[in-house]
Amino acid sequence: MKKVDCIFIGGGLMGLASALFMARDGKKVLVLDKDCTGKHASGVNAGGVRSLKRDIAELPYIHGALAMWHNMEKIVGSDCGFYQTGYLIAAEDDQAMRELEQRAAQTRELGYDNEMLIGRDRLRELAPIVREHCVGGIMSVKDGHASPAETCRAFHAALVGAGGVVHNHCEVVGIDPGENGFCVHTTSQGKLYAEQVVNCAGAWAGKLAHMIGDTLPVEPVGASVLVTARMPRLLHPFVAVQGRKLWFNQARNGTLLICGGYLADVDMEKGLTRMNFHELQACAKVAYDLFAVTDDITIVRSWAGLDGETPDHFPIIGYSNKVPGLFHVCGFSKHGFALSPMVGQVVSALLQGKKPEVGIAGFEVERFDRVSDLVASNPIPHENCGNLSNYK
């Protein structure tokens, strides 16, 4: 078999988008998925495209990505179901409002003007269902919602249209690095050869790295979403509350989606998630505390999916420091969907030795080498995450 320029292991959006932009530059690319493209996190997430209160380190990525989401029809021939909803975070008291004011000032200083403070009256207008005690909030109007399934289908089709090849039901079971690239062993396509290999295996990225003699601190994590019966239109933006773990939004069909990183149990032997009723109960309780409509709603279903998570909840993007030519794009820690088009562009540029539009400083795997003992023995608790300086 002829050697290709790059094999992407994992047909989620990180693999599909990176392969697409490389294929458009005339490179020969293969995407392999043990199941099928979009079967895991990329196809089953909550569809939130949020710049609001993103960690500072991710702002260049999300702003690049947002511009792409607003222009998706031109990029992949489909709007991917993206529509602008806005994202809003309400403050429950003056202290929370001060925190949001600080955040708005910080992003303004960095040159981003999208995070706007709103007062109590505007909050009531935009999200009348937020309970009375909330005093104001912060909003980013350009954020929105896209359909994960449509997005995966569109990127897959665009990739094939650009000359890329996708093999579904093709599990990578071994990788041999050699002097002239890699030999990749698969279940359905035998041996495949490539100049470079990209690990975009989502929840399986740590396992895949191990297969080739590398180590990555990426663990599988399950995240869940609650869905209500259809309701009359109650709100347009995604709504959250400062300091609470909750996102609440109303889909175009009227159902409310309630999520916020509530965990599901994970069975990696079967590659499955199972609902965790304690987590769902905690999620419903926070929704009840904060939204006035929750007395009247009926939860009709819930779903969960798997993602790869790093100890500091930031992705890993960059070349392996142990296996030359191996590139990692993983560990998106339950918030990678929104970033994926921009990540694809950056990864494609880096793999071709070009200068990307946005750098990867802070996302390289080396950050964990410096603190590997600390991470292993004392992972940073969730509430303190979101600050890369914790790892410097």
Ligand X SMILES: Cc1cc2nc3c(=O)[nH]c(=O)nc-3n(C[C@H](O)[C@H](O)[C@H](O)COP(=O)(O)OP(=O)(O)OC[C@H]3O[C@@H](n4cnc5c(N)ncnc54)[C@H](O)[C@@H]3O)c2cc1C
We find the least distance from the C-beta atom of residue 294 to ligand X, in angstroms, to be 20
Nearest CA to 340 out of 111, 48, 117 is that of 48
Alpha-carbon gap, residue 282 to 375, rounded angstroms: 27
Residue from 258, 335, 363, 385 that binds ligand X (CB under 6 A)?
A: 335
Beta bridge partners of 303: 225
Q: Which of 4, 7, 9, 159 binds ligand X (CB under 6 A)?
A: 9
Return the number of the residue (341 or 356) whose C-beta is nearest ligand X.
Answer: 341
Among the listed residues 20, 41, 96, 100, the single contact to ligand X using CB under 6 A: 41
Q: What is the dihedral of CA 180, 27, 345, 353, to 10 degrees?
A: 40
Stretch that binds ligand X, among 5-13, 347-355, 363-371, 381-389 (CB under 6 A): 5-13
Letters for 296-315 (x = contact with ligand X by CB under 6 A, - = none) are: --------xxxx--------
Q: Is 337 near ligand X (CB under 6 A)?
A: yes
Residue of 162, 193, 171, 189 whose CA lies nearest to 39: 171
Residue 327 makes contact with ligand X by CB under 6 A: no
Q: How many residues bind ligand X (CB under 6 A)?
A: 41
CB atoms within 10 A of CB 264: 22
132's CB contacts (< 8 A; 6+ apart) are 292
Assess 46 for contact with ligand X (CB under 6 A). yes
Question: Chain centroid to CA 192: how far?
Answer: 29
The interface with ligand X within residues 338-367 (CB under 6 A) comprises 338
Decide if residue 266 touches ligand X (CB under 6 A): no
Angstrom distance (rounded) from CA 137 to CA 349: 38
- Residues 30, 134, 208, 218: which binds ligand X (CB under 6 A)? 208
Distance between terminal CA atoms of the chain? 44
Q: How far is the CB of 303 from ligand X (least distance, A)?
A: 7
Q: How far is the CB of 305 from ligand X (least distance, A)?
A: 3
- Give dist(CA 57, CA 311) in Å, integer: 16
Least CB distance from residue 307 to ligand X, whole Å? 5
Q: Which of 53, 4, 20, 5 is nearest to 345 (CA)?
A: 20
Among the residue ranges 18-26, 39-47, 102-110, 156-164, the one whose residues contact ligand X (CB under 6 A)? 39-47
Q: How many CA atoms lie within 13 Å of 25's alpha carbon, on the beta-carbon side?
A: 19
User: Interface with ligand X by CB under 6 A: which residues?
Assistant: 9-15, 32-35, 39-42, 44-48, 171-172, 200-204, 208, 223, 225, 304-307, 330, 332, 334-338
